[in-house]
Amino acid sequence: MAVTEPVRLEPAQSVDLRTDVAHSARMYDWYLGGKDNFPADRLAGEKVREVLPAVPQSAVQNRAFLVRATRFLAREAGIRQFLDIGTGIPTRPNLHEVAQGVAPEARIVYADNDPIVLAHARALLTSAPEGRTAYLDADVRDPARILASPEVRETLDLTRPVGLSLVAILHFVDDEDGAYDIVRQLMAALPSGSYLTLSCLTADFDPGPVNTAVGVYHAQGLTCVARPHAATLRFFDGLEVVAPGLTPTHLWRPDDLAPSPEAIAGGNIIYGAVARKS
């Protein structure tokens, strides 16, 4: 039966966008060629691009990875419920558009604590009439609150498999802030047959420029961590990583079997993988 009732999102909710300081979500939007960014974001983004020219392509390749992974989960794995944490500024195609393009009845909960994302969250709520979407203003560092929220509990059935997406979010969480525990807590709450889609920044292929770019984020007061392959693979402990494993994003089940040099450069600074909970 179609579910079309509105989700919880106050239309007049006031948010402090702090447009005078750089913000990771708005910088990412700028990398993608979006318009939801401000001079401070563009200045910081340009500093990153100066030392790491591949960063705009990395954002494009990361987004393409999310699309392919979601399509795989909906089409091949039969997943009909998705929890996307660290959603970012809406960029088409959004996850629900991909999932509901395969299965219109799919249900999706988006979660993010970035004020700019909250300000644009209504773009994430355009569900197919057969399915449902919800938006939750919450921090990835508080998985218990996310899992206990009405948005999750009333939209998803946590006794049935869920596709959890943590795409390009955990490189903004230090190990000391519990990055690995966050993943463990979230996956522990999901039943067998659930999947984890995750991508994370790496300096394995271009250490000098990537580490310099990490320093630019730090100079803006933003956490940023570039993890090597082994450290990124730890996020999937106890899960069955599906083929082709943890790879640069442009190599994860690519639509184009002959990627351009730009795609390779962009994909080589972010690892991505999908894994199943048995």
Angle of the 39-51 helix axis to the 24-31 helix axis, nearest 10: 70
Q: Is the pLDDT assigned to residue 11 strictly greater than 50?
A: no
Determine the average pLDDT of the residues in 177-196.
98
Over residues 154-166, the pLDDT tens digits come to: 999 999 999 999 9
Q: Is the pLDDT of residue 3 over 70?
A: no
Residue 234 or 24, more confident: 234
Q: Looking at residues 118-133, what average pLDDT do you find? A: 84
pLDDT for 12 beyond 50: no
**pLDDT attached to residue 1:** 32
Q: What is the largest CA-CA distance in the chain?
A: 54
pLDDT at 5: 43
In this predicted structure, the answer to whether residue 183 has a pLDDT above a threshold of 50 is yes
Q: Which of 116-120, 173-177, 236-240, 269-273 has the lowest mean pLDDT?
A: 116-120
Give the count of alpha carbons within 13 A of 260, CB side only.
Answer: 8
Asked if residue 58 lies in contact with residue 270, where contact means CB atoms within 8 angstroms, the answer is: yes
Give the CATH number of domain 47-276. Answer: 3.40.50.150
Return d(Cα 23, Cα 41) in angstroms, integer: 6
Tens of pLDDT, residue by residue over 257-272, are: 778 888 898 999 999 9
- Token pair of 22 as six digits: 């750089």
| Structure confidence at residue 4 (pLDDT) | 41
Give me the chain's average pLDDT, please.
91
Average pLDDT over residues 19-24: 88
Chain Cα centroid distance, residue 203: 19
Evaluate if residue 9 carries a pLDDT over 70.
no
Q: pLDDT tens digits, residue range 58-107?
A: 999 999 999 999 999 999 999 999 999 999 888 889 999 999 999 999 99
Contacts of 163 (CB under 8 A, 6+ apart): 70, 73, 77, 79, 81, 82, 83, 99, 194, 195, 197
* Residue predicted with more confidence, 214 or 91: 214
DSSP state of 249: G
- pLDDT number for residue 272: 98
pLDDT at 18: 74
User: In sequence order, what are the residues at sequence separation of 6 or more whose Cβ sits closer than 8 angstroms to the Cβ of residue 90?
Assistant: 117, 120, 121, 123, 124
pLDDT number for residue 219: 94
d(CA 10, CA 3): 19
Q: What's the pLDDT at 14? A: 53
Please say if the pLDDT value at position 191 is more than 90: yes
Beta strands in 126-191 (DSSP E): 132-137, 163-167
Highest mean pLDDT among 9-18, 119-128, 258-267: 258-267
User: What local confidence, expressed as pLDDT, does residue 17 receive?
Assistant: 65
- The pLDDT, as a whole number, for residue 6 is 37
In sequence order, which residues have a C-beta less than 8 Å from that of residue 153 and are 6 or more positions away?
none
